[in-house]
Structure 1
Amino acid sequence: MKALILAAGVGKRLKPITDHIPKTLIKIEDKPILGHILTNIQKCGIKDVLIVTGYRDDLIHEYVGNGSKWGLNVSYCHNKRYKNTENIYSVQVAGKGLDGDEFILINADDLFSPFILWKLMEAPGDIVLAVENKGTVGTEEMKVSTDENGRITAVSKELEPSESYGEDIGIIKFSKEGGRAFLDTIKNIIKRRGHHFYFQEAINDLSTKEYPVTYVNVGNEPWIEIDDHFDLKWAKTPIIHMIKERLKAMGKRISSIRRKSK
């Protein structure tokens, strides 16, 4: 399994911090957001990572390199059109680099508990979204609706909050078959409608065509998508402290599994 990290965006709502660095390199305590993501990936046993760069890709290459300091194999592809495309185009750019493998897609501005990745990796299904069901969903959030069989029926910011099950947090697992369906749908959307969409548009298209898109509820696992200065403040306190506690718990679980396997 690979991890696909979308890190091409400019992060305009976090100016002036992002005047000179990409959003994913903003430091949260001891390391940048991207460093926290790579640590989680390593903890969960994923070895191969593909990063889609765009804005200030030189700084991302400088920080991550080949991934060896995390024990990872990191490769890159570059979205030259990052200034005037949405992340659906970054996924298309990444297509060949995925080599038909199963993968987990991660937004590079997500700060999250490693147990969210763990849950996704353990979940069956061709396309599995990580969803937070918190009772109320804001109008600006990427919302999901579900049916009685546990399938996603729609993914959109346009859904009515009252009709939504929860929020898509931007981390998705794809099997080989699910990945092919996703990439083919993205290709068709860009060809017919252009590249000014989020990748969730492809998930929405698949779900409305009754492709089996499912989800895992992240429960109380901490996470945040860092879009603006308010999110950044919240990420620095208390979210990062909660995530670090979960990282410690993940380390204990892995140690226990290793002891039992001996």
Structure 2
Amino acid sequence: MQAIILAAGLGRRLGEYTKNNTKCMVEVNGVKLIDRMLGQLARLDLRRVVIVVGYKGSELKAHIGNRYDGRLNIEYVENPIYNKTNNIYSLSLAKEQLQQDDTLLIESDLIFSDRMLPMILNDPHPNLALVAKYESWMDGTMVRIDKERNIVNFVPKKAFRFEDVDDYYKTVNIYKFSREFSCRQYVPFLDAYCKALGNNEYYEQVLRVITLLDNSNLKALPVGNEKWYEIDDVQDLDIAETLFAEDEEMMRRYNYRYGGHWRFPKMLDFCYLVNPYFPPEQLTEEMKANFDTLMREYPSGMYVNSLLAGKYFGIRQQFVVVGNGAAELIKSLMEQSAGLTGVVFPTFEEYPHRLSKDDIVAFYPDNNDLSYTADDLMRFFEGSGIKSLLLINPDNPSGNFIPADDVLRLSRWCAGQGIRLVVDESFVDFSDDFEHNTLLRNSTLEDNPRLVVIKSISKSYGVPGLRLGIMASADEQLISRVKKDVSIWNINSFAEFYMQIFNKYQADYTQACHKFISERARFMKRLQTVSYMRVLPSQANYFCCEVLGKFTSHELAKKLLAQFNIMIKDCNTKTFLEGKNFVRISVRDTADNDRLVDALLALDKQ
């Protein structure tokens, strides 16, 4: 067995990274791609490694030098016209070597787990392509396979159809060819293809022809959950460095993204705080049916969008302002705050981060459950001189909840003290009896003119990608100031259309919330079977859990990510929870929740 590595390309899309080096000399977490790949090949029983070089080939050869002497027999093939050809020509230059032995064919811009080369070598089929089920980040050649793992078609870019993605597998660009296949099928077709269509093509096109015209016996081997990535541009490089980072660095890289985790579809994200049962498929299909119009048309301004938000929640247009997520409104509101602000810790820190530390009067619960009541807050803040009081209800990350009647009692107390009460009820629809717990009613707002209600539509409605939030108050001057503070087109057409059609799906939403509440109760019982965790009661879509004895919260988060590709929130970075070993775990659907508990129980046995 031998290996042939194609490493002649320019790698233009990597910009500065390939200005003076070929792509395989790019570093991922401090290790060059070629060094990682040759190290993996050195663990195999190979007769030789043939590297086809072109752009910056002399630099590549100088870097490799003699470092693999005694472990790998490395030979080079030169592609002198690398800037005028594609990889079909690079492979054709190595066709003599290709016909001399069974071959692993590998593209040099790949990073992959150590298990993948043994996987393909140990499979009994002589002619094999490693493939991965299609995911949204993938680009390039796709294949279709039958039930016996035969590749029945190669799908080039120009033939790609999004409606067929459920049937697609992406070629990982690691192949195993028998000497017989190379001699009798691949190389003859390679010569004919180059003569007919030229050298500016891709070698997979030859495989496509063979598959269509001949019984090639070329099989596919799905890689499952094995990690790999193809690095074509700077974003690919960033994602690869995250996927292949070690424990501590991996956590850091995931956390600084603040979202965008859809780029890592195999990672199960329990930091993600949304409703797992909404929106329904029909709503999604209605959005898709209007995609072309929404993408091509400007959204409306604040007048129409505040009208839609009023319709959405059943409140007056002049009482509501729409934000590009609640975060935009939080920023505007907090920057307009004057005087001291009362803040309950631990909490959602987007609010206090907008304030000077000198302007915060902090309340800390004095119990192990991080719980507090309206009476606790009134006693603590009496005579404190605060001008505003912030209440996240249910709170994040504790899940503490103050019933609506008590919040209104707190609101009346605040009014008597000349205090503005800001209530963020982004998670209130996850609470028991949620239909009666919202403050978003005209009568409630009118009776409490110093009350400001903020709600993220991302959380309970399951549409965080739309970036929608609202702020409501009968203080029309405040609402007007915030409307003037944000951009006239602060939300896009997709978000606007969603607000327009939501009311048709109100019954589905109510049903989804009831289904969620039932699953939360079931999930809590399962979490309580984990011996090293104490689960706090919650009325939100997450649980705050104290990690006891066996691990620290940081160690637990790190082990779940490294061993199970599951991400939870380590709360050690939150004010008042530093060093107290709390984690926050979101509530997802039954299958995901059980997968997490199974992982936690497995760690208990280690």
Describe how 1:69-84 pairs up with structure 2 within 5 A. Answer: 71-84=71-84
Q: For the residues of structure 2 that align with 1:73 and 1:34, how far apart are their CA atoms?
A: 15
What CA distance in whole angstroms lies between the structure 2 residues aligned with 1:63 and 1:133? 35
User: Equivalences for 1:113-124 in 2 at 5 Å?
Assistant: 113-124=113-124
Following TM superposition, the consecutive aligned residue runs of length 4 or more in structure 1 with deviations greater than 3 angstroms are 136-141
Is the 1:67–1:74 contact (alpha carbons within 8 Å) kept by the matching residues of 2? Answer: no
Larger RCO (alpha carbons 8 Å, 6+ apart):
1
Q: Aligned partner of 2:160: which letter?
A: L
Change (3 A) 1:124 1:159: farther
Match 1:235 to one of 240, 260, 280: 240
Q: Residue 176 of structure 2: which of 151, 156, 173 is its match?
A: 173
Question: Secondary structure in 2 aligned to 1:45?
Answer: coil
Corresponding residue of 2:583 = none
SS in 2 for 1:68: coil
CA RMSD of aligned residues (A): 2.1
Q: Contact (CA 8 Å) 2:13, 2:234: kept in 1 or not?
A: yes
Check the 8 A contact 2:53/2:79 in 1, yes or no: yes
Kindly report which structure 2 residues correspond to 1:212-227, keeping only aligned pairs within 5 A, or say none.
212-227=217-232
Q: Are 2:205 and 1:201 equivalent residues in the alignment?
A: yes
SS at match of 1:114: coil
Q: Within 2, Cα distance between the matches of 1:232 and 1:81?
A: 26
Partner of 2:170: helix, strand, or coil? Answer: strand
Quote the offset at 1:140 in angstroms.
Answer: 3.3
Letter aligned with residue 160 of structure 1: R
**Counterpart contact for 1:41–1:114, Cα < 8 Å:** no
Tell me: CA distance 1:43–1:30, structure 2 relative to 1, closer, same or farther (3 Å).
Answer: farther
Separation of aligned partners in 2, 1:84 and 1:35: 27
User: Counterpart of 1:146?
Assistant: 145
**Aligned-residue offset at 1:139:** 7.4
Percent sequence identity is: 28
**Distance (Å, rounded) in 2 between the aligned partners of 1:79 and 1:61:** 14
Alignment match, 1:98: 98
* 1:224 Cα offset (Å): 0.3
Normalising by structure 1, report the TM-score.
0.86
What are the ranges of 5 or more consecutive residues in structure 1 without an aligned counterpart? 243-262
Q: CA deviation at 1:55?
A: 0.2
What is the CA distance between 1:137 and its match in structure 2? Answer: 5.3
Instruction: Tell whether 2:154 aligns with 1:155.
Output: yes
| Greater share of strand | 1
1:202-243 CA-to-partner distances (Å, cap 9, x unmatched) read: 11111112321101111111000000000001111123448x
User: Mean Cα displacement is larger for which, 121-130 or 6-15?
Assistant: 121-130
Secondary structure of the residue aligned to 2:119 is helix
How many Å separate the matches in 1 of 2:61 and 2:107? 17
Q: Normalising to structure 2: TM-score of the pair? A: 0.38
Deviations 1:105-124 (A, max 9, x none): 00000001121111111122
Rg: which structure is higher? 2
Pairing 1:17-166 to 2, within 5 Å after superposition: 17-66=17-66, 68=68, 71-134=71-134, 136=135, 140-156=139-155, 157=157, 158-161=159-162, 162=164, 164-166=167-169
Q: Aligned equivalents of 1:139 and 1:169: distance in 2? A: 10
Q: Would the alpha carbon gap of residues 237 and 213 (structure 1) be closer, same or farther in structure 2, given more than 3 Å must change?
A: same
**Matched residue type, 1:72:** L
Structure 2 unaligned runs (5+)? 248-606
Instruction: After TM superposition, give the deviation of residue 99 of structure 1 in Å.
Output: 4.8
Measured in 2, the distance between the counterparts of 1:159 and 1:212 equals 23
Does the Cα contact within 8 Å between 2:55 and 2:82 map onto a contact in 1?
yes
Contact (CA 8 Å) 2:186, 2:206: kept in 1 or not?
yes
Contact 2:131 2:222 in 1 (8 A): yes
**Matched residues in 2 for 1:77 and 1:226: separation?**
23
